[in-house]
């Protein structure tokens, strides 16, 4: 768990920070299931997924054009040669027309592979500044990250931003890949880049002196040239991932909870929702509720299929990227941003009170004050809802570095619990109370959703600022 932040678009500063684990708003959408999704077809003849190894979620982060997608493709190719993956070409990862046109990653993409130690779901995150919210969507799902840095360029603006966001969304560990080493002739330059990278990691509270930094060339690995910097470097990187990133503790004993990342239809089968299971377990035949975005309250349904990466699961559990086939629901009944949960596990509220600490400019936060009636956009896991900040009568404005207890009123009701959050850095938020407002008293709106049970995530945005709040 960690903190997350609030961005000022004009000054490129982060504003607030609170603790959380979750997935965030994913703006890149399609009516069809993109190839990045873990579930595509739900055919009865599909193979069964057997849990013989721990499952972890990892991913690539870093500045645009530093080689994240190339590295992702290279990992699948090298491990495919070892019989532990299916090789995925670069073009299959960045497959959307806009991605092909611009030559950059826009949406997060999912691939799978195995090492001798683990089974991995790998999220390839966009590096471009315009798509940082999609990077957060991917990073918030990670149990560990691979930071990709171009050796000729060194750490760049999005390198720094991604390290900070990784810290704030709760990525517990990072392993670094110094890419394009074959384009640097001066060994001293490589040492300087590595030194700068370690200092940067230390600055953002990662153990920079301990984090493994592997030098190599993802393109060489992909093309099968320069084995030392190519294939061997990739294998060394995966050894570092296996050893340095620890197995997470999954919340298997809590009620099932999964935010919906995408929805699509399987002809003749029904509606499929995909996402990362936040907590609990799910099996075929179990009843669930789909909450949010409807005026009539929860949609009750039964799970008739559970799959991950085109393989049938006997059960899905916390940490899995799954697709759920839901009985009796139409494609238009469910939208990104809704949540699938155990019946009765969540209640919805509209108004809550919280104690917040506002990050200062030196902490990567705000450099200006904010006032009552500020109405940012809250991004709650995979959806968003407009809300209003109401300060106490004796507080006229809140400055960077201040602690304040404020009331937050959302336009739509969301699941919410009283609880305290303390981050491992400087921040804390405590939900102290909320009115007895139920879902049927609130106008549900398209694109709105969720504060979560136990560990919650919010992101706030308007024309000037983007804020992420998280609490439990």
**Higher-pLDDT residue of 365, 259:** 259
Q: Which of 13, 55, 60, 65 is catalytic?
A: 65
**Domain of 391: which CATH number?**
2.40.30.10
Does pTM surpass 0.85? no
> Which H/E stretch holds residue 91?
helix 90-93
Q: Which residues pair with 6 in a beta bridge?
A: 467
One-character DSSP codes across 113-168:
EE-SS-EEEEEE---SGGGHHHHHHHHTT-SEEEEEEETTT-S-HHHHHHHHHHHH
Q: Is 387 domain-assigned? A: yes
**Domain of 200: which CATH number?**
3.40.50.300
- State whether 235 and 326 are in the same domain: no
Q: Give the percent of the chain with pLDDT over 70.
A: 69
Residue 261: per-residue pLDDT: 83
Q: Is 13 domain-assigned? A: no
To 5 degrees, how large is the angle CA 417–CA 462–CA 160?
85
- State whether 307 and 433 are in the same domain: no
Q: Which of 128, 236, 361, 420 is catalytic?
A: 128
- State whether 209 and 323 are in the same domain: no
Q: Is 283 domain-assigned? A: yes
- State whether 357 and 462 are in the same domain: yes
| Cβ(190)–Cβ(215) below 8 Å | yes
- State whether 275 and 304 are in the same domain: yes
Q: Is 139 left (phi over 0), alpha (psi -120 to 50) or beta?
A: alpha
Q: Which of 69, 115, 281, 386 is catalytic?
A: 69
Range list of β-strands (E), 358-445: 370-371, 377-380, 383-390, 397-398, 403-415, 419-422, 428-431
| pLDDT at residue 434 greater than cutoff 50 | no
Tokens of 342: 């155990």
The pLDDT mean for the chain works out to 74
Which region among 118-132, 259-273, 361-375, 451-465 has the lowest average model confidence (pLDDT)? 451-465
- For 312-341, how does the pLDDT look when each residue is reduced to its tens digit (9 = 90+)? 888 999 989 899 999 999 999 988 878 899
The domain in which residue 61 lies consists of: 55-244
| Cβ(410)–Cβ(387) below 8 Å | yes
Tokens of 321: 């990227």
- State whether 229 and 305 are in the same domain: no
Check if 68 is active-site: yes
Q: Which of the four pLDDT bands, split at 50, 70 and 90, describes residue 127?
A: very low
Q: Is 35 domain-assigned? A: no
Q: Is 2 domain-assigned? A: no
- Identify the domain boundary among 316, 341, 366: 341
- State whether 111 and 162 are in the same domain: yes
Residue 139: per-residue pLDDT: 53
| pLDDT at residue 140 greater than cutoff 70 | no
- Identify the domain boundary among 223, 244, 265: 244
| Cβ(9)–Cβ(468) below 8 Å | no
Phi, psi (degrees; rounded to nearest 5) at 125: -95, 145
Q: Is 3 domain-assigned? A: no
Residue 50: per-residue pLDDT: 74
- State whether 240 and 288 are in the same domain: no
One-character DSSP codes across 423-466:
-SSS-EEEE-------GGGS---TT-----SSSEEEEEE-SSEE
CA neighbor of 19 nearest in space, from 424, 353, 292, 313: 424
Tokens of 214: 């592997």
Residue 360 half-sphere exposure toward CB, CA atoms < 13 A: 5
Q: Is 128 domain-assigned? A: yes
- State whether 121 and 213 are in the same domain: yes
**Higher-pLDDT residue of 321, 169:** 321
| pLDDT at residue 436 greater than cutoff 70 | no
- State whether 76 and 152 are in the same domain: yes
Residue 30: per-residue pLDDT: 33
Check if 70 is active-site: no
Q: Which of 68, 122, 180, 459 is catalytic?
A: 68
Tokens of 436: 């007895």
Q: Is 251 domain-assigned? A: no
- Identify the domain boundary among 183, 209, 244: 244
Residue 463: per-residue pLDDT: 25
Residue 459: per-residue pLDDT: 31
- State whether 308 and 182 are in the same domain: no
Residues 6+ apart with CB under 8 A from 111: 36, 72, 76, 85, 88, 93, 121, 122, 124
Residues 6+ apart with CB under 8 A from 268: none
Residue 136: per-residue pLDDT: 55
Check if 302 is active-site: no
- State whether 219 and 277 are in the same domain: no
Which region among 228-237, 243-252, 288-297 has the lowest average model confidence (pLDDT)? 288-297
Number of domains in the chain: 3
How many other C-beta atoms are found inside a 10 Å radius of the C-beta of residue 313?
Answer: 23
Range of 12-16, 395-399, 436-440 with top mean pLDDT: 395-399
Q: List alpha helices for 180-305, DSSP H.
A: 187-203, 218-223, 231-244
Check if 65 is active-site: yes
What is the DSSP pairing of strand 55-61 with strand 144-150? Answer: parallel
Helix (H, G, I), strand (E, B) or coil at 216: coil
């Amino acid at each position: 768990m960690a903190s997350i932040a609030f961005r000022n678009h004009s000054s490129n500063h982060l504003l607030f920070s609170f603790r959380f684990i979750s997935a965030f708003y994913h703006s890149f959408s399609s009516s069809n299931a993109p190839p990045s999704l873990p579930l595509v077809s739900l055919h009865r003849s599909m193979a069964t997924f057997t849990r013989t190894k721990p499952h972890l979620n990892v991913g690539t982060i870093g500045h645009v054009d530093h080689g994240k997608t190339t590295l992702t493709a290279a990992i699948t190719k090298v491990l495919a040669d070892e019989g532990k993956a299916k090789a995925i070409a670069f073009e299959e990862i960045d497959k959307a027309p806009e991605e092909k046109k611009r030559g950059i990653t826009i949406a997060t993409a999912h691939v799978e592979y195995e090492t001798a130690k683990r089974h991995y779901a790998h999220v390839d995150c966009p590096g471009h500044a315009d798509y940082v919210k999609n990077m957060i969507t991917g990073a918030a799902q990670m149990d560990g990250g691979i930071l990709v840095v171009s050796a000729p360029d060194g750490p760049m603006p999005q390198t720094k931003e991604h390290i900070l966001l990784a810290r704030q969304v709760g990525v517990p560990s990072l392993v670094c890949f110094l890419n394009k080493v074959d384009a640097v002739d001066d060994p001293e330059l490589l040492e300087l880049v590595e030194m700068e990278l370690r200092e940067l990691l230390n600055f953002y509270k990662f153990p920079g002196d301990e984090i493994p930094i592997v030098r190599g060339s993802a393109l060489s690995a992909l093309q099968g040239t320069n084995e030392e910097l190519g294939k061997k470097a990739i294998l060394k990187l995966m050894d570092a991932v296996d050893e340095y990133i620890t197995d997470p503790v999954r919340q298997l004993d809590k009620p099932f909870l999964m935010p919906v990342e995408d929805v699509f239809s399987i002809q003749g089968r029904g509606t499929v929702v995909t996402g990362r299971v936040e907590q609990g377990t799910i099996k075929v035949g179990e009843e669930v509720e789909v909450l949010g975005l409807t005026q009539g309250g929860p949609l009750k349904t039964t799970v008739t299929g559970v799959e991950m990466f085109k393989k049938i699961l006997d059960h899905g559990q916390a940490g899995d990227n799954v697709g759920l086939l839901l009985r009796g629901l139409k494609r238009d009944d469910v939208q990104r941003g809704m949540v699938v949960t155990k019946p009765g596990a969540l209640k919805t509220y509209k108004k809550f009170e919280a104690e917040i600490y506002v990050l200062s400019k030196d902490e990567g936060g705000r450099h200006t004050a904010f006032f009552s009636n500020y109405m940012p956009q809250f991004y709650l896991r995979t959806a968003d809802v407009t809300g209003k900040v109401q300060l106490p009568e004796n507080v006229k404005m809140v400055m960077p570095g201040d602690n304040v207890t404020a009331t937050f009123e959302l336009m739509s009701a969301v699941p919410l619990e009283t609880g305290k959050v303390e981050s491992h850095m400087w921040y804390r938020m405590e939900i102290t109370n909320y009115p007895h407002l139920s879902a049927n008293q609130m106008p549900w709106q398209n694109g709105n959703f969720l504060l979560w049970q136990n560990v919650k995530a919010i992101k706030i945005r308007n024309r000037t600022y983007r804020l992420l709040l998280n609490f439990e």
